[in-house]
Amino acid sequence: MQYYLKHLKERIKEKQIKVGVIGLGYVGLPVACMLADVGFQVVGVDILPDRIKKINKGINPIEGKEPGLADLISRVVDMGGLVATSNYEDLQSAGLVLIDVETPIDENHIPKYQALRSACHSLAEVIQDGTLIIVESTIAPGTMARVVRPLIESVSGKESGKEFFLGACPERVMPGKLLRNLHSMSRVCGGESPEVAEVMVTFYRNIVKTDLDPADLITAELTKTAENAYRDVNIAFANELALICQSVGADFLKVRELVNKSPGRNVLFAGAGVGGHCIPKDPWLLAHGSQGTVDLKLIPAARAVNDSMPKQIFLLLERALEKFDIPIRESQVAIWGYAYLEESDDVRNSPSQLLYEILKSSKADVILQDPYVPGYQEDELDSLENCDAVIVMVAHQVYRRVDLNEVKNRLKKPIIIDGRRVIDPKEAVEAGLQYYAIGFGSNQLIK
Ligand code: SAJ
């Protein structure tokens, strides 16, 4: 193994290496803290002065409930293990640098790499010979070869694989479980050479207590984007099957239960849409990685199916209001759930936002309610005042437990649209409500 890599490995084992982390958000901050907690000296770089200030005071700047993170930040900052800065010069003495910046896509589903390019450019201006640079952000396959390597080589004047080294180790964290995931989820250590991958495994072994799989760069990039594209395609299948069940009068949940009794089947849950910061984006990163060499049909089609689900909810509402001769433009509707996921306050790419826009463009009055999202936290029953219908968009527990008789009493019209199948249809009808749901054939109630 090259001198530099051998020396890196020794310094990692002795923890005699300063680690840089660029981007102190959902991914970068927890990993910076965990590395400091196991004895590395960590320098975190971010562009947000307020976030830097909070971290250096030992305060957690990340919203949402992240068990253990606030205590961990205050502990590692107190012990001097983690220092946050906006100054890339502070990375000069780092022998290993992680890049954890955002990698969004634009309206044409093309990756927006401004943050990644800026981080690489600024880092390249200060790196010393022998530095290992690992991109943890989720990136389109081929990005390390086409974007990261040439940029760092041209700015630093150094040669990758000789004077500095490149790795890709995509994060696998979920909001609300950041620290647990970092410990317990396997990681792919993609190195530009097997020797680099080996050094990465040695490094991550300090914080990851499960499989660390050495691979090459493209395999690591493909794995992360494929695992989320896989989930998106499977959710889309559930959604399309649900629309078939709905149209032929069956109950998707019953069909799903029986299909999944067949070995090797695992139909997921149909619902009001697919939100979050991973699943709507990563299929497009995977698609971009194919660079137009494959005529992709399934991945884009799955995205279209999932993005159409809020419109399917709208069509159910239109049908329900028609029975009372109420046009959408004269209706008032309560949307229960604004987060993208149950028991979460994260609203990124929330299907509820899309439904809200569709309703507003149809001139309906819309009330948003969500127990987790600041600004929408009024009592769920109070939110129904003067409403002609209520739409459940997120499977928050509070909606599962709601008193359906009270719902009936508060609504102007007895319409409930269950976008996540959290309400029992029979109980809804017994309470005098007209029940509609994705994947629920209307004649299911006729007995
Ligand atoms: N959804 C459905 N039907 C399903 C599952 C999810 O409509 O059967 C919807 C959810 O309501 C949500 C969206 O899809 O709006 C995404 O839900 P998710 O459960 O996939 O949660 P995420 O976005 O937090 O996905 C993360 C991902 N983890 C990482 O990127 C490291 C994903 O790979 C995981 O599979 C997922 O968590 C998980 O399994 O919890």
Report CA(276)–ligand 1 centroid distance (Å).
7
Active-site residue flag, 224 = yes
DSSP-assigned states of every residue in 206-261: TT--S-EEEEEHHHHHHHHHHHHHHHHHHHHHHHHHHHHHHHHT-BHHHHHHHHTT
Active-site residue flag, 169 = no
pLDDT at 389: 98
Can you say how many angstroms the Cα of residue 414 is from the centroid of all Cα atoms in its chain? 35
Measure the CA–CA gap between 248 and 255, rounded to whole angstroms: 12
In order of 105, 110, 122, 188, 326, the CA distances from 356 in angstroms are 22, 25, 40, 39, 18
- Dihedral of the alpha carbons of 212, 215, 220, 223, in degrees to the nearest 10: -80
Bridge partners (DSSP) of residue 416 are 390, 435
Is the beta carbon of 278 within 6 A of some atom in ligand 1?
A: yes
pLDDT at 64: 73
Q: Which amino acid is at 371?
A: P
Residue 383 pLDDT grade (very low, low, confident, very high; cuts 50, 70, 90): very high
Task: Of 191, 194, 105, give the one whose Cα is nearest residue 144.
Answer: 191
- Decide: helix, strand or coil at residue 42: strand
Tokens standing for residue 256: 């799903």
How would you class 93 by CB atoms within 10 Å of its CB: exposed for 0-12, middle for 13-18, buried for 19 or more?
Answer: middle
Q: Higher pLDDT residue, 442 or 185?
A: 185
Average pLDDT over residues 297-316: 98
Measure the CA–CA gap between 1 and 314, rounded to whole angstroms: 61
pLDDT at 62: 85
Q: Is the pLDDT of residue 83 over 60?
A: yes
CB 314, CB 351: distance < 8 Å: no
pLDDT at 302: 98
Is the beta carbon of 268 within 6 A of some atom in ligand 1?
A: yes
pLDDT at 173: 82
Average pLDDT over residues 381-409: 98
Report CA(60)–ligand 1 centroid distance (Å).
25
Q: Average pLDDT, whole number, for the chain?
A: 96
Task: Of 42, 102, 100, give the one whose Cα is nearest residue 72.
Answer: 42
pLDDT at 1: 57
- Decide: helix, strand or coil at residue 353: helix
pLDDT at 442: 74
Report CA(280)–ligand 1 centroid distance (Å).
10
Q: Higher pLDDT residue, 182 or 417?
A: 417
Contacts of 114 (CB under 8 A, 6+ apart): none
Q: Is the pLDDT of residue 320 over 60?
A: yes
CB 97, CB 31: distance < 8 Å: no
Measure the CA–CA gap between 290 and 217, rounded to whole angstroms: 15
Q: Which is catalytic among the residues 120, 189, 245, 278?
A: 278
pLDDT at 106: 96
pLDDT at 443: 67
Task: Of 230, 291, 285, give the one whose Cα is nearest residue 116.
Answer: 285
The fraction of the chain above a pLDDT of 70, given in percent, is: 99
The fraction of the chain above a pLDDT of 90, given in percent, is: 93
Average pLDDT over residues 364-381: 97
94 phi and psi, to 5 degrees?
Answer: -85, 130
Residue 84 pLDDT grade (very low, low, confident, very high; cuts 50, 70, 90): very high
Pocket test for ligand 1, best of 100, 173, 274 (most atoms within 8 A of CB): 274
- Decide: helix, strand or coil at residue 97: strand
Q: Higher pLDDT residue, 442 or 334?
A: 334
Q: What is the pLDDT of residues 208-248, one digit of tens each?
A: 999 999 999 999 999 999 999 999 999 999 999 999 999 99
In order of 64, 329, 386, the CA distances from 365 in angstroms are 29, 8, 10
Q: What is the pLDDT of residues 9-56, one digit of tens each?
A: 999 999 999 999 999 998 999 999 999 999 999 999 999 999 999 999
Task: Spell out the domains of the chain, with CATH numbers in brackets.
Answer: 2-225 (3.40.50.720), 308-445 (3.40.50.720)
Residue 67 pLDDT grade (very low, low, confident, very high; cuts 50, 70, 90): confident
Q: Is the pLDDT of residue 447 over 90?
A: no
